[in-house]
Structure 1
Amino acid sequence: MEKIVIGIDVSKLTLDICIQENGVNRFDTIANTEKAIKSFLKQFVKRQNILIGMENTGRFNILLYNVLIQHSFAVYVINPLHLKKSMGLVRGKNDKIDSERIAVFLLKNYMDLQQWKPNSKVIEKIKL
């Protein structure tokens, strides 16, 4: 079964998303709100072989993390420096391109990456 790879570029107000399925890229932009994230993920809930990758952007990822905890997707949080080094020198940079680069990186490297696991509630309280 073919994997569906979702690369997400996270910013304060929006999530730019690249969905790679059967060799075809589809792009979407949604609000970085719990409601929008849940609505977007509904299309993938009953599917298998879903890989979701995003850069670690600190607090802007929190809403996305909170929604992803409720599902059993394979989620990978990628160090931005690692991603940048793997791509080498590239021309052009915008959120759409970044989401595609995250998806490409994830598809090539997911076997070598550690899957994201939510922090315990105690750790989350300490962070706040």
Structure 2
Amino acid sequence: MEKVFIGIDISKLTLDVFVNSCSKTQHYQIENCSKAIKKFFKSFSNDANTVVGMENTGRYNFELYEVLSNLNLLVFVINPLHLKKSIGLLRGKNDKLDSQRIGIFLEKNYMDLQPWIAKSSEIQKISLLNSERRHRVRFIEADERFKLS
């Protein structure tokens, strides 16, 4: 069976999904909500030949993590800096291109990457809240420095 590589670019409202198999490549844009994600992955569920990759974008990944944790797919969460350095300087930046670049990067490098292991829902929520807190503290500290100058 052929491997299918799925690169996902995540934004607040949508997921741009690039699907690359030996026979064809396709781009999809779906809502960033559990219902749409489940519907999309229904045809790939429990397929060991499907490899999924995405950048870590913090809170916008949460819906996707929730769905993928219930599927038997090989998933990689890629550090955005690692992806940027491996690709080098490129022209053009949009969500469709980013999902394609993630998919191509994944196809070339997935054997060298650490797979994502799903955490419990409670741990994910705590991590998300902790991240949100750090962001807000930094924002407040920056605001205070601005007021002092």
1:82 aligns with 2:82: yes
Structure 1 portions without partners, runs of 5+? none
Give the equivalent residue in structure 1 for 2:42: 42
Q: How many percent identity over aligned positions?
A: 57
SS of 1:52's equivalent?
strand
Q: Secondary structure at the match of 1:27?
A: strand
Q: Which has the larger radius of gyration?
A: 2
Offset of 1:23 from its aligned partner? 4.7
Greater helix fraction, Structure 1 or Structure 2 = 2
SS at match of 1:43: coil
- Superposed CA RMSD: 1.4
Q: Label 1:64 to 1:89 Cα distance change in 2 as closer, same or farther (>3 A).
A: same
Alignment of 1:1-128 (within 5 A): 1-45=1-45, 47-121=47-121, 123-127=123-127, 128=129
Q: Which runs of 5+ in 2 are unaligned?
A: 130-149
Note the C-alpha offset of 1:60: 0.1
Q: Which has the higher strand share?
A: 1
Q: Which has the higher contact order (CA 8 A, sep 6+)?
A: 1
SS in 1 for 2:52: strand
CA distance in 2, matches of 1:11, 1:32: 8
Give the TM-score of the pair, scaled to structure 1.
Answer: 0.94
Secondary structure class of the residue paired with 1:63: helix
Q: Write out per-residue CA displacement over residues 28-87 of structure 1, whole angstroms, 9 at most, x where no aligned residue.
A: 000001000000001112533000000000000000000001101000000000000000
Deviation at 1:121, TM superposition (A): 4.8
* Amino acid in the other structure paired with 1:41: F
TM-score by length of 2: 0.81
Q: How many residues align?
A: 128
SS of equivalent residue, structure 2 residue 64: helix
**Closer/same/farther in 2, CA of residues 88 and 101 from structure 1, 3 Å limit:** same
CA contact (8 A) 2:47 2:72 kept: no
Q: Is the 8 A contact 2:53 2:106 kept in 1?
A: yes
